[in-house]
Chains A and B, each alone.
Chain A
Amino acid sequence: MDILVILQAGVASGTVLLFATLGEILSERSGVMNLGVEGMMLVGAMSAYSIAVHLGNPWLGLVVAMLFAGIISQIHAFITITLHADQVVSGLALTFVGTGLSLVLGEGLNKAGTVALLPTLSIPLLEHIPVIGDIFFKNHSIMVYIGYLFIPLTWYFINKTRPGMHLKAVGEFPAAADSQGIKVYRLRYLYVFIGGMLAGLAGGTISLAISPGWFSELTTGGQGWIAVGLVIFAQWNPIRAAAGSYIFGALRRLVLDIQGPTMLLGFANPFFYNPYLGFFLQMIPYAFTIVVLVIGSQEAMRKRIGAPAALGEPYVRGERGK
């Protein structure tokens, strides 16, 4: 078991979670919780792979994945923002819509044969840094490096720019934002769209880079739900979201690699001597998601961890704000 290898693999598969989590952070910061991440990721994974197979260009695949996932996210936006319906119910419905749509449109795609994938590369100079270079800058898909750029950019956008301030205002106190002339509905539509695009990007990253191929709903395997949980764990902060994504990415590989050595930290390795124990490790990200969602749904706790105050609340213009 080589820790470096596990962390390197973790950064790669964590990139998928990173894109999805950042997208959900932007959407939730504007006050709209979208539980449809899993469905949008599937739509993205399917359309990215399909375009790459049929037109031969993975980059075009990514663009279409983002657009397609963004467009279906607008169903959720319409239902929750314009019709003021419940965000949880609508988000769940969006998961079903996205899953079903991707399964129908992706029929037969898995045997389409070899396909042009996104390139893998190392960053010159940086790859030679001991440890850090091996983990972060060597033999990764280009999407991993794009992920690195997204982390500070998203943080800077939310915390240091004017549109970022508007985004926060809309999610914290939409009535006040409205009275200042910020277009609440329009911004919420926009950030749900961006959240959808990033979920689509996450899906495309799976099917064209991290685990190439289209394997129906097993392509995402519940990672969209983990992303929803990570948002709460990250307290809507992109930097913490990145750390969480990479840790969970590494856990996926740790579950397998920890079965290898007979000794662990000087003790007999329980995961070597009892294969059943590994199943508990495998369960951790999903169990964590449930726990975090339960905690995050309690009003008192939400205030303490800094949830956007208007998260989940439909904004109705002219009604008394709160």
Chain B
Amino acid sequence: MSKKVLFGLLTMMLVFALILVGCGEQDTPQAEEEAAAEEAPAEESVAGGFMIPEVVDGKFNIAMVLIGPHDDGGWSQAHYEGLMYVAENMDNVNTAYVELVPEGADSEQVTRSLARKGFDLIFTTSFGYMDATETVAEEFPDQMFIHVSGYKSNGSNFGNLMGAMEDMKYLAGVIAGARAHQDGQTKMGYMATFPIPEELRLGNAFALGMKEFCPECTMDVRWINTWHDPVIEKEAAASLFDSGAYVVFTGADTPAPADVATERGDVYGITYDWSGSCTAERCLTAPYWNWGSVYLQIAEGTRDGTYTAGWHYFDADSGGLGLYGFMEGQELTPGMQDLDPEVIAYVEETLAQMLAGEFDRFDVFAGPIMDNQGNIVVPEGEKMVQADLDQFPPGAEGLECTYCMYWWADGVTAELPE
């Protein structure tokens, strides 16, 4: 009996294989004709388990590598929507993306496959894609590679791109501190991803904001060792709330803090990255990215040959940053409506200055700044420079820093290893 079954199975597999081979032979010339004639995005190919999209001849081809799903409700979705903005606002352009690409070797393979397909401009959107992007950019000198976050560039076709999210994190900290102060609470929670300069910078900006209206406030930190893991992010939010945090904010990708806060009902969460992420009832606000206009500028500049790869770091006046509840067409969230009007006025005023270009990241990190050990990090009258914002001491070669981002601001209950 078992022999019969085996034989049947083999026959089925053979038939199936024949059908596949037959179809394949017919399909190949057809697909080529179609691609040439209609410019339709043709069939996709596979590299290391990832579907690599095709370029469209005659168009300007842009690809994006995402670490999460394109609809993660956070970081990756913000990038994806930026890409869609470019697709809508630029003529004769073809856009494509590959999602859920792990950092490291996989990202290098995917980026190289995209380059080999002939994409003119490739955005890689996670910190850990940095070295992979650098390697591939060297192999394909005629194509442009833009790495988001990180700190490297080769000055010709491998550019670094990041925005001053610290501006918005600072304002979110102001709101969170004021909220806690008004409700008789004193503790904040920060769900941090990896001990890298970016995460320290954003956490410190929040802590500086928190102190504006709540000098008695402190901030707990939980390292979660991931950019995108919805389950761990929820556990970390729960851990912070259980330890007494009243407002929890995140450096990771999903709206977990607001979701968990809503489950609890008597605390607040602050989401991050995406303008649509602050929908839960107990979401206080969300600092978010508007990649669209920045990406459009880079894409057009690359096509014209006017964009130079380097360290492209934009502030709020570029339109690339937002704070949920305060931007055009938005309303204050329920958690902000009964806040002291003085606080709301302060946030609105500072935000207006930021958007006008009168208040930037160096004003957020202007002295005097105290660390949580009681030392003065930046003395009165001094400001940090770019290398201080994104470098650990002593700083990468050519990017040496004086003050450096290796300290926790006053009020943060956490330590960094020696």
B6: chain A residues at CB < 8 Å are 83
| Distance to closest chain A CB from B269 (angstroms) | 15
Bound CA span A282–B2, Å: 46
A298: interface (CB < 8 Å): no
Interchain nearest-CB distance for A157 vs B (Å) = 30
**B239 interface residue per 8 A CB criterion:** yes
Given contacts A275-B416, A276-B195, A278-B223, is CB(A256)–CB(B229) below 8 Å?
Answer: no
Asked if A321 is at the interface of the complex by the 8 Å CB criterion, the answer is no
Contact B2–A221 (Cβ < 8 Å): no
Known contacts A218-B229, A260-B220: does B417 contact A252 (CB below 8 Å)? no
Give Cα A5 to B239, complex, Å: 9
Q: In the assembled complex, which residues on chain A have CB atoms less than 8 Å from the CB atom of B242?
A: 2, 5, 9, 257
Chain A interface size, under 10 / 10 to 19 / 20 to 34 / 35 or more: 20 to 34
Q: Are A276 and B243 in contact (CB under 8 A)?
A: no
Chain B 64-82, CB-CB to A under 8 Å as 1, else 0, gives 0000010111000000000
B112-120, B230-238, B388-396: which one contacts chain A?
B230-238
Contact at B195–A256, with CB atoms within 8 Å? no
| Contact pick for A259, options B73, B223, B416, B417, CB 8 Å | B223
* A215–B230 CA distance with the chains assembled, in angstroms: 7
Chain A, residue nearest B71 (CB): A111
A253 x B5 contact (CB < 8 A):
no
- Contacting pair B225 A111 (CB below 8 A): no
Please state if B235 and A256 are interface contacts (CB–CB under 8 Å). yes
CA distance A42 to B416 in the complex (A): 37
Interface SS of chain B: mixed
The answer, yes or no, to whether A274 is at the interface (CB within 8 Å) is yes
Tell me if B224 is interfacial: C-beta within 8 Å of chain A: yes
Give the residues from 60 to 116 in chain A that come closer than 8 angstroms, CB to CB, to chain B.
82-84, 108, 110-111
Complex: A213 Cα to B235 Cα, angstroms: 14
B228 at the interface (CB under 8 A from A): yes
Q: Is A279 in the interface zone, CB < 8 Å from B?
A: yes
The yes or no answer to A273 lying at the interface (CB within 8 A) is yes
Chain A residues near B231: list those with CB within 8 A: 206, 211, 215, 218-219, 221
Q: CB distance B235 to A259 under 8 Å?
A: no
Cβ of A291 < 8 Å from any Cβ of B? no
Q: Are A256 and B69 in contact (CB under 8 A)?
A: no
The answer on a CB contact under 8 Å between B72 and A272 is no
- Whether B2 contacts A9 by the Cβ 8 Å rule is no
Q: With A2-B242, A276-B417 known to touch, is A259 a contact of B228 (CB < 8 Å)?
A: no
A123 within 8 A of B: no
Check B71 against A259 for contact (C-beta < 8 Å): no
Is B243 in contact with A1, judged by CB distance below 8 angstroms? yes
Taking the closest CB of chain B, its distance from the CB of A219, in whole angstroms, is 7
Option from A84, A221, A256, A279 in Cβ contact (under 8 Å) with B236: A256
Write the nearest CB–CB distance from A304 to chain B, whole angstroms.
34
User: Known contacts being A211-B231, A253-B239, is A110 close to B72, with CB within 8 Å?
Assistant: yes
Binary B-proximity of A118-134 (CB < 8 A = 1, otherwise 0):
00000000000000000
Q: Find chain B residues with CB under 8 A from A272 CB.
A: 414-415
**Bound-complex Cα distance A2 to B2 (A):** 58
A27 close to chain B: CB less than 8 A: no
Does any Cβ of A come within 8 Å of B100's Cβ?
A: yes
Of listed B73, B239, B413, residue having the most chain A CB within 10 A: B239
Contact indicator per residue, chain B 157-188, by CB within 8 Å of chain A (1) or not (0): 00000000000000000000000000000000
In the bound complex, CA of A13 to CA of B230 (Å): 14
Tell me, rounded to whole Å, the shortest Cβ–Cβ distance linking A104 to chain B.
12
* Residue interface bits A39-56, CB-to-B below 8 A is 1, else 0: 000000000000000000
Which positions 216-269 of chain B face chain A at CB distance < 8 Å? 220-225, 228-232, 234-236, 238-239, 242-243
A260 to B235, CA, bound (A): 14
Whether the Cβ atoms of B417 and A274 lie closer than 8 Å is yes
Alpha-carbon distance A36/B230, docked complex (angstroms): 23
Taking a contact as CB atoms closer than 8 A, the residue among A221, A259, A262, A274 that contacts B221 in the complex is A259
Contacts of B69 in A (CB 8 A): 110, 216
> Chain A's nearest CB lies how many Å from the CB of B46?
13
Q: Which of A276-305 contact B (CB under 8 A)?
A: 276, 278-279, 282
The complex places the Cα of A214 from the Cα of B148 at a distance, in Å, of 27
Contact between B223 and A211, CB atoms less than 8 A apart: no
Known: A2-B242, A213-B230. 15 other contacts (CB 8 A): A5-B242, A13-B235, A110-B71, A111-B71, A111-B73, A211-B231, A215-B230, A215-B231, A219-B231, A221-B229, A221-B232, A260-B222, A274-B415, A275-B221, A276-B417
29 contacts between A and B (CB under 8 A): A2-B243, A5-B242, A9-B238, A13-B235, A82-B2, A82-B5, A83-B9, A84-B2, A108-B71, A110-B73, A111-B71, A211-B234, A215-B229, A218-B230, A221-B232, A253-B235, A256-B236, A260-B220, A260-B222, A260-B243, A272-B414, A272-B415, A274-B415, A275-B414, A275-B417, A276-B195, A278-B223, A279-B225, A282-B225
Interface residues of B (CB under 8 A from A): 2, 5-6, 9, 69, 71-73, 100, 195, 220-225, 228-232, 234-236, 238-239, 242-243, 413-417
The 6 closest A-B pairs by CB, nearest first: A256-B239, A215-B230, A275-B223, A274-B417, A211-B231, A273-B415
